[in-house]
Amino acid sequence: MLETATAALPDAGEVAQQAARRRVVAVISHPDAGKSTLTEALLLHARAIGRAGATHGKAGRKATVSDWMSMEQQRGISISSAAVQFEHDGVVVNLVDTPGHADFSEDTYRVLAAVDSVIMLVDAAKGLEAQTMKLFDVCRRRKLPVITMINKWDRPGLDALALMDEIETRTGLVPTPLTWPVGIAGDFAGLVERRTGELAQFTRTAGGATIAEEHLVAPSEAEALVGSRWGTAQDEIGLLEGHDQELFLAAATTPVLFGAAVLNIGIGRLLDVIVEHAPAAEARRDTAGEPRPVDEPFSGFVFKVQSGMNAAHRDRIAFIRVCSGLFERGMTLTHQPTGRPFATKYAHQFFGRERETVDLAWPGDVVGLVNANALRPGDTLYLDRHVEFPPIPRFAPEHFQVVNARDTSKHKQFHKGLSQLDREGVIQLLTSQLRGPQQPILGAVGQMQYEVVADRMTHEFNCPVSLEPLAHTVAQRTVPAAQDVLGSESNVEVATGSDGTTIALFPNTWRLATVRRNHPDLELAGLGVAED
């Protein structure tokens, strides 16, 4: 029988109380909309950091808390999700910053399986961009409540009412602004606080490194201060619906706020909205659709695996969303996919790449389990009563490249590194029937994933690699018995995935259709989840 926690289990009331204090939130947007800057601004307002690391423009930007990988710091983009935890007004917020670049959509997809609500960040000058809509569609399928933040209102941009129309038309959510700009984008005098009717004005600080001082003006004095812009703002906001908490939680409306993350304007109000309106950690449904109450014995699932966060230790971290019960460091859990015991001797909570040992965690918390080599994204862990949460499907790869070690004497590092990246979900590792294990094929959703592979193989595993693109763009799952038939077809390559799946690669859908027509009895099915 598996060991249980060393201390007495808390009563159900304490677990429910702690879960009610938790908010698990992801930030989604198109690249360069300001996600990492927003994450840091929220930390600044929550007093979790004393000074922000962002300045005007990417060229002068220091590394933000959540962008810790060298490639992220060099390029000024997020390519890996990062988790930070902080407390504000008695509420514990687990905030997950996600990659914005489309090539890393799969990582964001995993994060969205672990959170209870999202902040949709919209660039005031660009509106709802393609990647934002792709990620929103995932939120819609998961019925996640969405808080919308219109960012960069300190710069010229679109008309505020036009943005509201776009949100409603393209997402189907009714926008319910909680703040409203007084003046146009790039030249505004402050924000109307809808709940009080007051005008909030801000004193900017150099580079937004510290919190912008906020000054509230009574409605009776606002018009004398900002002129006709006050009346225009009142008329505009009067045309829009007010906030309804039930409709928001039902993912029918989206509260909207305006601000400028890089200058820390409007961020304090967003933080209040997360605390007041974002849903608390609640029962999560298992694969059978049954909810696992938060006061049940411990359960959680892996939504991300990451190595290389600490160059000194070269350890591997599995990020776990606690779904029910109390997590206690040292407890022995059951790894659902294998049924084997899993010890939790080394457990951390993270602040970007910084970490500290965590002894206890509650439903809604994110815990990093160290050296969790047996865990993959989507795995369930539990204590006592069996549970299995829905797996996280992988995206169907659309790009394929052959990888070779530049130094053939480093075959151990070569295979260890690729296996590690496959288990993390960075790429999909395939062994070709034609090329053998010394020339694996890497499947990816986007081309930039190969840059991550090359960078990490060089710096983490000390094994530089070369990559050669293949002409294939379509992957199909098949059966081992079909290998000989498919292998005889021109421009078709057969490979085996790391999970034992037999996969056929085709140059395009036309070639796939031809093979299906020639061999109607062949078993061919789509691989993973299509990104769109």
Sign of CA dihedral 509, 512, 518, 520: negative
The answer to whether 101 is annotated as binding is yes
The answer to whether 99 is annotated as binding is yes
> Which of 103, 3, 95 minimizes the C-alpha distance to 49?
95
Q: Where are the beta strands (DSSP E) in 174-329?
A: 174-177, 179-184, 187-193, 199-203, 213-217, 253-258, 284-285, 291-292, 299-307, 316-324, 327-328
Q: Which two tokens stand for residue 426?
A: 């960075």
| Other Cβ atoms within 10 Å of 419 Cβ, number | 14
Distance separating alpha carbons of residues 276 and 255, to the nearest angstrom: 12
Distance separating alpha carbons of residues 429 and 498, to the nearest angstrom: 6
b (16+ CB within 10 A) / e for 36-59: bbbbbbbbbbbebbeebbbbeeee
The answer to whether 107 is annotated as binding is no
Phi, psi of 504 (to 5 degrees): -110, 135
Q: Is 13 exposed, middle or buried (0-12, 13-18, 19+ CB in 10 A)?
A: exposed
The answer to whether 97 is annotated as binding is yes
The answer to whether 520 is annotated as binding is no
Q: Are 322 and 363 in contact, with CB atoms under 8 Å apart?
A: yes
Binding site feature residues = 97-101
Binding site feature residues for GTP = 97-101
